[in-house]
A = this chain, B = another copy of it.
Amino acid sequence: METVLKTLDEVEELAAGVLSAHGCDAENAASVAATMRAAERDGSASHGLFRLPGHVALLKAKVVNGHAKPTLEPLAPSALRVRGDDGFAPRALAVGVPALTEMARAQGVAALALTRVVHYAALWPEAEALAEQGLVAIACTSSPPYVAAAGGRRPVFGTNPMAFAWPRPGRAPMVWDQASAAMARGEVMLHAREGHAVPETAGIDADGRPTTDPNAILKGGAQLPFGGYKGAAIALMVDLLAGPLLGEVTSLEAGASASVGGPQLGGQFVLAIDPAKMGGDATRAEALFSALLAEEGVRLPGDRRLANRGRTPVEGVAVPVSLLREIDAL
């Protein structure tokens, strides 16, 4: 695959420019572009510029409001809502996360409901932002139905990612962000784009048979949850927390009302907990982290992202020429 090296500044400028040219105002374009930059910085190509054409398609189809003005409102002493005004999630998060941080510190625990947003990015950035402020964070969001239930063959759940972040003294937080699907949708799409097979655990074809063809999964088939019925239980939890808990749609409802394919308007749930208000101490986890790392073959979640983060600001990121051509043609 032919690639071109881009600096992270170039990545962010390219993204912001394309988004602005397709109907985003400056604040919305900047929020989304910053999130794409963070993905590329951390080596998460499937959440970086690769998603720019999808963002443009959502703007063109008027699924997403490029001029969204998210509004913050308290719901209860420990609950907040940001109405996303049909925009991309990063703009709404820029409004909600600082308020959630403040509330969690005062209350011990607090939850943020994002509604009417399209979440088409990774979840770790918002979880990490909270942990950088010393809070423990859980975030989840649903998506249109792509994943079969345990024992089923119809897509009912979104890939329903969940992120967890834990603060660490003097270093980047420990953060994981994983789809309830065996494989992230973005990864399946990337495999399809690059003509690669996927593992047999990733999904089933239209007849419910396991397949290694990403196109068979994407067209008429279904992804599978990770870890069988236990992963499906996680997917169900995520669907409920990001949907009905917030007065928002389930993945199934989002899919049923969709006028175009891909990500749809829906909800996001973000929880923040202050260890200092729970009688705890985040630094006490360091002994466990050290014990994990002492064993050969064991890594901490997010280690690869952090290693990339040390490298890409200096070396830049390799962007496929085919993707740049596609972006140029937009």
Binding site for B on A (CB under 8 A): 75-79, 81, 106-111, 113, 115, 136, 138, 149-154, 156, 164, 166, 176, 178, 182, 226-231, 233-234, 236-237, 239-241, 243-248, 250, 252-253, 271, 273-275, 277-285, 287-288, 291-292, 295, 297-299, 301
Contact = CB atoms under 8 A, between A and B. Distances in A.
A230 B226 contact: yes
A205 to B, nearest CB: 17
Given A77-B78, A78-B107, A107-B78, A230 B231 contact: yes
9 contacts: A75-B277, A78-B110, A79-B107, A227-B231, A236-B301, A243-B288, A245-B275, A252-B288, A271-B271
A233 B301 contact: yes
A85 to B, nearest CB: 15
Contacts of A78: 77-78, 107-110
Interface of A is mostly: mixed
Given A115-B279, A246-B279, A295-B154, A109 B271 contact: yes
B245 A278 contact: yes
A234 B234 contact: yes
Contacts of A230: 178, 226-227, 231
Contacts of A283: 244
Contact of A273 (B153, B156, B245, B275): B245
A282 B250 CA distance: 12
Given A226-B227, A230-B178, A239 B288 contact: yes
Contact of A108 (B76, B243, B288): B76
A298 B245 CA distance: 23
A111 B267 CA distance: 22
Given A109-B110, A244-B283, 11 more contacts: A76-B108, A78-B107, A107-B107, A149-B292, A150-B298, A227-B227, A236-B301, A243-B288, A244-B282, A245-B282, A250-B284
A26 B188 CA distance: 57
Contacts of A245: 136, 273, 275, 278, 280, 282
Nearest to A301: B233
A241 B136 contact: yes
Contact of A111 (B229, B273, B282, B301): B273
A284 B107 contact: no
Given A77-B106, A176-B233, A240-B285, A295 B136 contact: no
Contacts of A284: 243-244, 247, 250
